[in-house]
Amino acid sequence: MRVLYFLTAALSAAVLLSAFPTAAASRSSEASCREAANGLVSLLDAKQDNTALYRDTYAVVVNTCGPAATALHPAPPPSPPDRAKCHDLAAAMVDLIEDDAMDSAKFAAARDTFAAACAPR
């Protein structure tokens, strides 16, 4: 009887824990990601990609939007990223979010391309 009690308790705990994502696996909502990606577009338009706000917004989009991926820490490019190209890449992420494709492989590829090309200055 005692073994059955512990087995039931352990199984219940496992089911409960699997129902809640861990903090490391938490992802941003579609609305948050849309706002952040639009923020990146605005910051790039204002030539503010060397600010703390750009760094923080970039980190949110790269680390928490779309499907989870391996930690991406792009090496800084040898020359500053092209703002027009980065604007287009960020706008493409917004378009994918608007098309309800944030959880797709296509969004993950767009996010990773943006991350590699548009790291903060």
pLDDT tens, residue by residue, 105-117: 999 999 999 999 9
| Residue 66 structural domain | 27-117
CA distance 58 to 90: 10
Per-residue CA distances from 116 to 2, 19, 58, 82, 113 (Å): 56, 33, 11, 12, 5
Query: Do the domain assignments include residue 106?
Result: yes
Structurally, how many domains does the chain consist of?
A: 1
Query: Do the domain assignments include residue 21?
Result: no
CA distance 39 to 106: 21
Is residue 8 pLDDT above 50, yes or no?
no
Average pLDDT of span 34-59: 96
- How many C-beta neighbours within 10 Å does residue 13 have? 10
Query: Do the domain assignments include residue 91?
Result: yes
pLDDT at 16: 33
Query: Do the domain assignments include residue 67?
Result: yes
Query: Do the domain assignments include residue 111?
Result: yes
Judge if pTM exceeds 0.75.
Answer: no
pLDDT at 77: 58
- Give the residue among 76, 82, 77, 40 at the shortest CA–CA distance from 58: 40
